[in-house]
Amino acid sequence: MSSRWLSIIGVGEDGRAGLSAAANSLIDSAELVVGGQRHLDLIGATTGRQLKWLTPLDATVAEILALRGRPVVVLASGDPFWFGAGVTIARSIPAEEMLVLPSPSSFSLAASRLCWPLQDVETLGLNMRGLVPLLRRHVHDGRKIIALALNGETPRDVAALLVSAGYGPSRLAVMEALGGPRERVRHATAEGFDLDSVDPLNVIGIDVVAGPDARPIPYTCGLPDDYFESDGQLTKREFRAVTLSSLRPSPGELLWDVGVGSGSIGIEWLLAHPANRAIGIERDDVRAARAERNAVALGVPHFDIRRGGAPEAFAGLPAPDAIFIGCGTDGGKAIEAAWAALKPGGRIVVNSVTLESEQALIAAYHLHGGTLTRLSAERAEPIGRRMAWRPALPVVQWVCVKPASTT
């Protein structure tokens, strides 16, 4: 163990009293002790120098590395590798140089207070600014969620999100300063949330209950059209479901959504897996702003929407695993530029509703292969007092996988 010069120690709200003798010994023998101000206050005076985390956390790693081979301790909350500082450190320091001594995580403590089976609970980190919308995709009737809060306002923000989505009857448990002498657990419904003076260090338990107007986000592709704010520039549900199946999203992959419109394709790509990434390209500022609002409302605020037109906007973007083009193809220039940027083995899907863009799809098909499919759909709608089928504009879809090797 002599090569493990860096110790990462999880600290609870009970400070040193909750640590093992080994953890306390490592703290007392360290030349440098790093942590947030709260962590440093919890352990009190140390023999070695104390250093408060800088912002961003990566800035402190350089100072830690300057003492490589010397005894250094990093303090973290609970389990350092569950939404903790250990993840940041491990990007720069290999595991064989670290000794990790975790304490019970906030999730474990919260589940214990509520007597919820942690293996069946959705666990979320909302402890960074702007992340509360991420909760939206996980809100389904009967589900239980435990979420780390950013500050004392987070529980109220969570309650407001639940009410806006039709889940006002949901029951919230706000658990403050878990594991320490200041611990407090209070309860409220989302629609009747009235808790004040919430400690900034809190965890939220959510027992989701659907109201009569609840709008769940299903786990399959093809959200209802009225889930999206739109000016009509929207890939309709039936065509969107086929398009997503053709794009075949897999965890961690990057999509370019070219001509983002209302953002529906990129949003559903991101909903397919939390590790997915998407860049939307839209030349119209009004539509780009609308797509950003849709992304926040549907729980994917990390949708990266860029202003600009294709193919000029492709410059400098990371290579995608998949590309969707749902706009005019500019005589095929956008298709060819997208094809050139696509990773080997990546998928490209282009939808067309005009004869002009259909010609570009046929040319791409003859050049690169793939499949051409003509899709049509009809919905029953009222005509006076009777019903009739109203057809949507047919869509021609070109799908192609770029060869893994061009040799």
Instruction: Kindly report, residue by residue over 10-29, the tens digit of the pLDDT.
Output: 999 999 999 999 999 999 99
Q: What pLDDT sits at residue 232?
A: 84
The segments of the chain whose pLDDT lies below 70 read 1-2, 327-331, 406-407
| pLDDT the model gives residue 322 | 98
What's the pLDDT score for residue 178?
A: 96
Q: Are 285 and 311 in contact (CB under 8 A)?
A: no
What φ, ψ does residue 152 adopt, rounded to 5°?
Answer: -70, -15
At residue 407, the pLDDT reads: 47
Q: Are strands 277-282 and 254-258 parallel, antiparallel or unpaired?
A: parallel
What is the pTM for the complete model shown?
0.89
Phi and psi at 308, nearest 5°, equal 155, 170
Whether 105 and 112 have beta carbons less than 8 Å apart is answered as no
Contacts of 103 (CB under 8 A, 6+ apart): 9, 10, 11, 12, 18, 19, 78, 79
CA distances from 241 to 130, 235, 327 (A): 29, 9, 17
Cis peptide before 212 (omega within 30 of 0): no
* Whether 270 contacts 300, CB under 8 Å: yes
Q: Count the helix, strand and coil residues of the chain and give each as a percent rounded to the nearest 5.
A: 30, 25, 45
Domains recognised in the chain with CATH numbers: 6-103 (3.40.1010.10), 107-207 (3.30.950.10), 225-401 (3.40.50.150)
H or E segment at 110? helix 106-114
Encode pLDDT of 185-205 as tens digits. 999 999 999 999 999 999 999
The pLDDT, as a whole number, for residue 21 is 96
Q: Could you read off the pLDDT of 347-373 as tens digits, one per residue?
A: 999 999 999 899 999 999 999 999 999
